Chains A and B, each alone.
Chain A
Amino acid sequence: MRFSITGVNHKTAPVEVRERLAFDDDSLAEALQNLKMRPGFREGMILSTCNRVEIALTTEDGGGTTVEIDEFLADARHVSREWVTPYLYRFEDGDAIRHLFRVAASLDSMVVGEPQILGQLKAAYALAKQHGAVSGFLDNLLTRAFNVAKRVRSETEIGENAVSVSYAAVELAKEIFGTLKDKKVMIVGAGKMSELAARHLRRSGANQIFVTNRTRERAVEMAQLFDGKIVEYTEFLSFLPEVDIVITSSGAPHFIIVRDDMKKVLDVRRNRPMFLIDIAVPRNIEPSINELDNAFLYDIDDLQKVVVTNLAGRQQSAEDAEAIIHEEVSRMVARLKTREVVPTIVSLQEQLEHLRAAEVARMHGKFGKLTPEQEQALEVLTKSIINKIAHGPISELRRQASEPDGQFYVSAIRKVFRLGD
């Protein structure tokens, strides 16, 4: 049996290629059915996300999988094989296991440590299982991959810190307020960045969003996205005491929230903390506001610094994660290799038993009739002889199985005992 993974990801193929190769739900089911028809097919799974399309496959020995799987993918996505091949990578056996574990643990992701990939992999597995395309080996391997991903997540800090500016803002808000449930957010100036930050905040529970913008239409547009309330631009300062988080991204050339305004706001709030996120350039909020008690002001550079620090932390975690993966792959490969020598062991035992039975039968001709006791003694004697002979080679086979040059010993033993091929 051979195990391989063939596919493209964000490193080998630009988005124009990935989008042509990506499967949707219907074509994925159809492709799985087609894959099962291919000669030599044993098990298969197709993973298709926006950053990768991969086919994991186990085939019977001796099949030339290389060409066929390229062809399969080209056919399934209606592109020519010559066009797709340059973008494809292929991993086999141990390397394929390693690749699978790395994908599951989010080490191969565009944003290392992002959590979605594991869910996508689980969905792909469920679909393949539903179509009867995985059983035995691939089933075990994927279950193991999910465990490895879990281990990486719990033993390293890979997924812990935010690596995007808008997400960093959410993390900081959580460090101030604990839960964001029922916290109120005001967006001053409707822009792409503030929209993204607001979206993240909303997903974390901050459900009341006020929007204000110099041109009202844009505010209305954005308020609809979050079903937020519109505040007149001229009056937004008087609304500030009610909100806990302020995001500014207006194009104003001067500060729109100054220190004196903020002092009054904090007084009205009776010192409940306030988180101000200024992602506008030039800045919208007077920087010295950060010196006021209970006001926490972060501008775009501050957020970017948080992201850079977190990314560096992730790099370290990724190294720890690679070590875990290395360990898990060796363990898996060793287990597979041990399984590989099982047929050799069985045929060795059969061979010896065959010889023994033939010799005993030959003896019967010479000795004539034996008493049952003699019969039994002869059985015990001959069996214990072959067991003792087999003991050495069998334990050596098991031990050598997981060694790098184990194959040499395995074939030597096969030769010595005339086990045939």
Chain B
Amino acid sequence: MHETGVFWLRVATVLYGVGLLHALAVLVRKKAGFLKYALFAFLMGAVLHFVSIVELTTAIGHLPVDNFFECATVCAFLIAVLFLYVYWRYDYASLSVCIFPLVFVLAQIGAMETPILSWPNPRVRSAWLLVHVMMILLGYAALLLTAVASIFYLIQERQLKRKKKVNLFTKLPPLATLDNLVTNSMSLGFVFITLGVIAGSTWASIESGTSWITDPRIALAFITWGFYLTMVFLRATAGWRGRKAALMAVAVLCCSALTWAAHIGLRTMLAAK
């Protein structure tokens, strides 16, 4: 079945991966030098993506939007094109921080419609899972730090606005320090969670074929990641900082807690299998 189409999609996903790396590097280091290369790889990815969609369309006779995977890949392509247009027209590159990861993850979901391979041996399987869990845990740790710093920010901001100190909180750090801490830990957390989500979704697709996407827990994980992406986006491009950003960080933490709670059941499910 339309082998070449899927092949080109996978190559495109790898090229989008360069963009993803760029976005993560920007988040961690504030400045990454290779935007030109990342944009070029992204453009090539979009071209191959187009080739893949054309091939699939000719193979099945209509636009491949029959299921979630196919929708995801078409959606990824449209976003990529839109971004490239905006970049070409307005020279507006700061969106890349959010667009690169988003397109990569959507393309990756699309590329996993047909299972690639089975586990070469159980060790790789469990090592992969361990990587996923570690990444997610590191991400949650960073997110927790973000949320705590955000709560401190909200308290300190309230004290400064009300011009009154509560005894317990007279020694809080300055607002700017807390805001920086929120930004840095949030960026780092996003890097870990993104890598964790990618590792987790590939693991799940190899493990259980195409049925993984319908698992509500995994859907929830993607939604959480989406929230996180939105937060990074608003902060990086729309200049959300201070109180609004702090409130949002707390909301994302709650959302993540929900995902985590949903996954607690996962181990028992695996054991029962």
Contact = CB atoms under 8 A, between A and B. Distances in A.
Interface of A: 172, 174-179, 270-273, 290, 293-294, 296, 298, 302, 305-306, 309
Contact of A178 (B160, B176, B241, B244): B176
A94 to B, nearest CB: 37
Given A172-B160, A271-B241, 12 more contacts: A174-B174, A175-B160, A177-B175, A177-B176, A178-B173, A178-B175, A270-B239, A272-B241, A273-B176, A290-B161, A293-B242, A302-B163
A177 B174 contact: yes
B174 A176 contact: yes
Contacts of A175: 156, 160, 174-175
A270 B179 CA distance: 14
Contacts of B217: none
Nearest to A177: B176
B146 to A, nearest CB: 18
B163 A306 contact: yes
A270 B174 CA distance: 19
B174 A271 contact: no
Nearest to B243: A293
Contacts of A296: 160-161
27 contacts: A172-B160, A175-B175, A176-B160, A176-B175, A176-B176, A178-B173, A178-B174, A178-B175, A178-B176, A178-B177, A270-B241, A271-B239, A271-B240, A271-B241, A271-B244, A272-B241, A273-B175, A273-B242, A293-B244, A294-B241, A294-B242, A294-B243, A296-B160, A296-B161, A298-B163, A302-B163, A305-B163
Contacts of A176: 160, 174-176
Interface of B: 156, 160-161, 163, 165, 173-177, 239-244
A298 B175 CA distance: 16
Which residue, B165, B175, B244, has most C-beta atoms of chain A within 10 A? B175
A179 B161 CA distance: 19
A350 B174 CA distance: 68
A180 B173 CA distance: 14
Which of A174, A175, A293, A305 has the most C-beta atoms of chain B within 10 angstroms of its own C-beta?
Answer: A175
Contacts of A179: 176
Contacts of B244: 271, 293
Contacts of B243: 293-294
Contacts of B239: 270-271
A290 to B, nearest CB: 6
Contacts of A271: 239-242, 244
B130 to A, nearest CB: 39
Contacts of A178: 173-177
Contacts of A172: 160
A274 to B, nearest CB: 11
A170 to B, nearest CB: 12
A179 B175 CA distance: 11
A184 to B, nearest CB: 14
Contacts of A305: 163
A309 B170 CA distance: 12
The winner among B165, B173, B241 for most chain A CB atoms within 10 A is B241
Residue from the set A172, A271, A309 with the largest chain B CB neighbour count within 10 Å? A271
B23 to A, nearest CB: 20
B149 to A, nearest CB: 13
A287 to B, nearest CB: 12
B171 to A, nearest CB: 10
Contacts of A273: 175-176, 242
A345 to B, nearest CB: 52
A290 B163 CA distance: 10
A207 B134 CA distance: 46
